[in-house]
Amino acid sequence: EAGVTQSPTHLIKTRGQQATLRCSPISGHTSVYWYQQALGLGLQFLLWYDEGEERNRGNFPPRFSGRQFPNYSSELNVNALELEDSALYLCASSLGAGGYNEQFFGPGTRLTVL
């Protein structure tokens, strides 16, 4: 069974540009979570999608947005990039809302903002 995949592996942008990160969940999983992992910090919750809908978002500005497609894949968009957006962005998928479904993480996209 294929795990969670993310693309691209690395992304280099300049300040003010926009970045798009993609995530493909494990087959059968309907929930996708996005996290930001800055150097030396834990995982900061960004967004949660389930069944195509945004269910919750963390304490991030509106320039962080995303969507979930009918096949449950997801993309994260970051507009007006700032230097402090440089981080590893991880997505995780799970079987769905409710219960105690395990989150499976992808390998991450390392975003560097110059």
Chain residues that interact with another protein, rule: CB under 8 A: 4, 33, 35, 40-45, 48, 55-56, 58-59, 90, 97-98, 100, 102-108
Got the DSSP string for 52-93?
TEEEEE-S--TTEEEEE-TTS-EEEEE-S--GGG-EEEEEEE
Residue 55 or 63 with smaller CB distance to another protein: 55
CB of 102 to another protein, least distance (A): 5
Cβ contact 36:43 at 8 Å:
yes
The residues facing 57 across adjacent strands are: 47
What's the CA gap between 81 and 4, in Å, rounded?
25
CB of 17 to another protein, least distance (A): 26
The residues facing 47 across adjacent strands are: 34, 57
CB of 67 to another protein, least distance (A): 19
Residue 19 or 109 with smaller CB distance to another protein: 109
Residue 57 or 67 with smaller CB distance to another protein: 57
Residue 3 or 28 with smaller CB distance to another protein: 3
CB of 63 to another protein, least distance (A): 20
- Please choose, from the candidates 32, 37, 59, the residue with its C-alpha nearest in 3D space to the C-alpha of residue 48: 32
